Amino acid sequence: STVATTLTIRGLGKIPVYKGDPTWISPKIWNFISEKAVLMRPSAIRICNGSWHEAHELSQILKNKGLLEEMTSLENVYVARTDPSDTMRVEKNTFIVTNSRSEVQPNRTVTISRAKNFQSMLAQWMSPKKFVQEADERFPGCMRGRTMYVIPFSMGPIGGRFSKNAVQLTDSPYVVINMRVVARVSSSVWDAIGNGDFVKCVHSVGVPRPVLHRLKNNWACNTSDIFIAHILEESEIWSYGSGYGGNSLLGKKCLALRMGSYMGLKDGWLAEHAAIISITDPQDQEIFVCVSFPSGAGKTTMSAMLPALPGWKIKVLGDDIAWIRWKDGQMFAMAPENGMFGIAADVKEDSGKILIEALKRDALVVNCATTSKGRLMWQGIEGTLEPEETVVDWRGETWTKDSKSFRPPAHPNCRFTVYTSNVANVHPKWDSPCGVPISAYIFGSRRPDAYPLVLETNNWAEGVLLATGMRSKVGSGTDRKSDGLVNDPMSMRPFMAYNFGKYVDHWLEMGKNREKVPKIFHVNWYQEDDNGNVIWPGFNENIRVLEWIFNRVRNPTDESNVSTSVIGKTPKSLNMDGLPLKIDLKKLCEPPPTFWLKEMAEIRSFVNAEMGDDKPQQIEFMLHELAAKL
Ligand code: SPV
Ligand code: MN
């Protein structure tokens, strides 16, 4: 690139500034940039503008360095293979920094033995003092010999009344090309910020030059030293050591969920780990719903669903994050993201048609395999391989279809980055600055046990209570490993940013004193029989459950297809037209009598441990009341 300007930064000296014009940037923002440049000591600065030209140029540079493979049979599709140690979110080194511990961890007046060595599975707290120590061990000089990219971005449409502006500094051009897909990256964000607030994001892969060790797959990372911190009061996010999505695309989990949920607490809204979709029936009636499943439990799949029942349509506004607030007497959900970062592994040609199609142009894929025909490959679609077609797997090793030692071609957390607007079933209102009015909130977990296929909770508060107790089998996107069920309240366990009792209280408050409160449903596509086989076909057949939900929302007084229990309502029947399997709906929807009693006991012990004295009275009251009724 040609040098646009040479600037002198006090404390750093002369530094070339490539591309963008620094005079666009207000002094307040420039202070942030120059201060961090002095700390991290890059050899150049590049001000990004989010253009196609910029993405193309960076992609070609990365391709020439062997970091990206360009898919010859597809249009503007690139594949990255990471260092095998940098493939997922790292929960264990993710922290929330606040002055007082109790803003993040539960208060406790009574010391019970359990509380003494209590290790929260939700947000981890760090003191500002400890943060300074940890940051001092990592960030000084961490960008030596590298270019520092300055990314102006907005979560939500640029200038939108509920959008949040931010600037991310990074030494990873790979992060730049991904960020411009998942967030709105543009020079107009400088104007949107003006002299106002913005979230300050600092990211480094932690590999200053000269590099003294051999990089794996040309992928720079420092995974033994990963550190991700959110300073809530300062609106600052610091991330070190990883180039993987959730650790490095700071607009996503760090800003739109963790920082966002804290902003929402103060301003009366919610930032949630949920897809936003619309369901349209054969009569062209449409409802909007939020769908909150834990990581790797099918939000993206559901967002791109091609319903098995004729005449029904699913459209997507966002597949991962929803910002929710009241407006004009209705609960609105807005998608802050510009793109999707979904799991590619196991996406199949039939059930995943829309996603397969979306991956044919303008996509980035990480840790999949590629074939000698210039195609993408992962487990689930090996059947499409031609006899002579060879595969280079995600580790960079070559295989053929008949290799005896055929291994999974892709990492189980192999992911793609695509523009929401490139997905065939995108909703025309997907980038509305206020979002859409939702009439139902659907929580779901991955549970092999008897948790019902679908349950309409009795009211907002009880729906929230059950969401508080959500447990699920963990997916492949995180360093947390477990064979059993892991608590994942509201699908937010890895993204919780403040005191859990306050968080649940905020949820309860959101549903109080309102006329039109969305119904809360819980679903479970993953019930298994005694042999460990799932007993519900899932995927595009889930429309049969959505049809029931749709009818419950549209005709709440029609109770003809409803079985009522203490916990809530379940369907008496579902539309099974065209389904070749015999479905035992009773088994799917009616757990044995002791099930809910045990479930309430689990919820009770979880909230006692994770909320301490901050447990909302209403939670205690509902647990008591439901247990009595059961
Ligand atoms: C998740 O793990 O929930 C994701 C992927 O959506 S990441 O952005 O990496 O967290
Ligand atoms: Mn997610």
Q: Give tens-digit pLDDT for 324-363.
A: 999 999 999 999 999 999 999 999 988 899 999 999 999 9
Mutate to test the pocket of ligand 1, among 247, 320, 367 (most ligand atoms within 8 A of CB): 320
Lowest mean pLDDT among 90-94, 477-481, 509-513: 477-481
Question: What is the residue-wise DSSP string for 432-474?
Answer: -SS-EE-SEEEEE---SSS--SEEEESSHHHHHHHHHT-EEE-
Sort residue 34 into left (φ over 0), alpha (ψ -120 to 50) or beta. Answer: alpha
| Per-residue model confidence as pLDDT tens digits over 237-271 | 999 999 999 999 999 999 999 999 999 999 999 99
Among the residue ranges 430-439, 504-513, 575-584, the one predicted with the least confidence is 575-584
Q: 45-54, 64-73, 110-119, 171-180: which range is least confident on average?
A: 110-119
Q: Over the chain, what is the mean pLDDT?
A: 95
Is 60 exceeded by the pLDDT of residue 97? yes
**Token pair belonging to 530:** 């005694």
Closest atom, ligand 1, to C-alpha of 245: 9
Q: How far apart are the first and last CA of the chain?
A: 70
**In this structure, which ligand is nearest to the CA of 228?**
1
CA of 269 to the centre of ligand 2 (A): 19
Q: What is the pLDDT of residue 387?
A: 87
Residue 114 pLDDT exceeds 60: no
Is the pLDDT at 5 greater than 90? The verdict is no
- pLDDT for 109 beyond 90: no
Cα–Cα distance, 142 to 532 (Å, whole number)? 48
Backbone angles phi, psi at 456, to 5 degrees: -95, 120
What pLDDT, on the 0 to 100 scale, is given for residue 476?
87
Report pLDDT for 34. 96
Q: Is 295 in the pocket of ligand 1 (CB under 6 A)?
A: yes
pLDDT beyond 70 at 169: yes
* E strand or H helix that includes residue 591: none
**Higher pLDDT pick, 266 / 18:** 266
- Please state the pTM of the whole predicted model: 0.97
- With a pLDDT cut of 70, the percent of the chain lying above it is 98
Nearest protein Cα to ligand 1, atom 3: 295
Q: Is 246 in the pocket of ligand 1 (CB under 6 A)?
A: yes
Position of tokens 């090793």? Answer: 397
Residues with CB under 5 A from ligand 2 (ion): 295, 320
Ligand 1 centroid from CA 257, angstroms = 11
Is the pLDDT reported for residue 221 higher than 90?
A: yes
Atom 8 of ligand 1, residue of closest alpha carbon: 246
Exposure string (b/e) for 140-173, b if CB count within 10 Å is 16 or more? eebbeebbbbbbbbbbbbbebebbbbbbbbbbbb
pLDDT at residue 113 is higher than 80: no
Q: How far is CA 378 from CA 4, 50, 410, 414, in A?
A: 43, 30, 5, 8
**pLDDT for residue 116:** 62
Which carries the bigger pLDDT value, residue 463 or residue 407? Answer: 463
Name residue, tokens 């590619």: 344
Does 253 sit in the ligand 1 pocket, CB within 6 Å?
Answer: yes
Q: Quick check: CB of 477 below 6 Å from ligand 1?
A: yes
The mean pLDDT value for 73-89 works out to 97
Predicted local distance difference test score (pLDDT) of residue 199: 98
2 band by pLDDT with thresholds 50, 70 and 90 = low
Six-digit token string for 613: 């004295």
Across 316-320, 335-339, 473-477, 566-570, least confident range: 473-477
Residue to probe by mutation, ligand 1, list 90, 299, 300, 341, most atoms within 8 Å of CB: 341
Q: How far is the CA of 317 from the centre of ligand 2 (A)?
A: 15
Q: Is the pLDDT of residue 423 over 60?
A: yes
